[in-house]
Structure 1
Amino acid sequence: MESKLALSLYLAYKKLQIHFTNLAEQMGLDPAPLSALMKLWCQDGLTVTELGDKLSLKASTITSLIDRMERDGLVYRERNREDRRVVRIYLTEKAKQIKNNFPGFEEYIQEVIKGKFTPEEQETLIKLLRKLEATL
């Protein structure tokens, strides 16, 4: 049977998800908090809405995720003084320390695919995936 685009993308996504889950478990985390931490490591102090948008999560889902992360000592919430409706999420020292021991998913995947793609193939794949993302 000829491979189709959607199926190929789905299968690649599932395999990446397995690698991400394995990496999260090595760090003693679940995948969802690790995803949120990665976004906050890039930009600490995101609003709840911004973090939810970056993770493509609904308001109720992001709220429960932040509740769990706060309970686990990874983040804390702070209300904006000018507009109390705005709540920002900040990393705790514990979360910052995790980053110091975190290889990064990019580096992890680079190691997994090492020797399987030429640098040119990797660049082509990145360009095509970005084009696909912009199209969808």
Structure 2
Amino acid sequence: MRTSFSQEELDRAMTLFHVFARAFKSISEHSIRDSKEHGFNPTEFAVLELLYTKGPQKLQQIGSRLLLVSGNVTYVIDKLERNGYIYREQDVKDKRSVYAHLTDKGKLYLDEIYPIHAMRMARAFSGLTEVEQEQLMALLKKAGVHSQHLIFR
């Protein structure tokens, strides 16, 4: 494992981190605005979006996919369930596993608002060409996988 870096490499890494953080904040503001506009906090909106785009999910998968701690997942799921957007269902094969599903109300609501959200996110990334967007996805995945690998060394 590499433990020594030139000053130039250190400076570039710090600049890259700051540019990445500012870009993430700027782009994520579009999603935050959407969630608030529709009466959800960003975490609630992210859970609904995940269930809408990926289908039913185990509660523990929701937390790991959205980078949430389990207490937050439980709170958000409870609130969304109370408001009629989702329901829980125990896995018949594994009684320890519980899935979150969208209700009909939740699906109908997401049918209405998700296309608007997708359009706004497309607009947020419209400063990049299609090729640049594909390159950015590939580079961010590569950086993320490498960084995650270093954590467990």
Q: TM-score range by the shorter chain?
A: 0.7 to 0.9
State the Cα deviation string for residues 55-83 of structure 1 (Å, max 9, x = none).
11121111111111111111111112333
Tell me, in whole angstroms, the C-alpha distance in 1 between the residues paired with 2:33 and 2:102.
Answer: 23
Task: Name the structure 2 match of 1:47.
Answer: 58
- Identify, as 1 or 2, the structure richer in helix: 2
Q: Please list every run of 5 or more consecutive structure 1 residues that lacks an aligned counterpart in the other structure.
A: none
Q: Secondary structure at 1:90's aligned position in 2?
A: strand
- Aligned positions, number: 135
In the TM superposition, structure 1's runs of 4+ consecutive aligned residues that sit over 4 Å from their partners are none
Note if 1:112 corresponds to 2:124: yes
Tell me, in whole angstroms, the C-alpha distance in 2 between the residues paired with 1:122 and 1:47.
Answer: 30
Q: Please list every run of 5 or more consecutive structure 2 residues that lacks an aligned counterpart in the other structure.
A: 1-11, 148-153
Note if 1:33 corresponds to 2:53: no
Determine which structure has more spread, i.e. the larger CA radius of gyration.
Answer: 2
Q: CA RMSD in A?
A: 2.1
Q: Secondary structure at 1:103's aligned position in 2?
A: helix
TM-score (norm 1): 0.86
- Give, in angstroms, the shift of residue 32 of structure 1: 0.7
Note if 1:20 corresponds to 2:31: yes
- Give, in angstroms, the shift of residue 105 of structure 1: 4.4
| Counterpart code for 1:117 | L
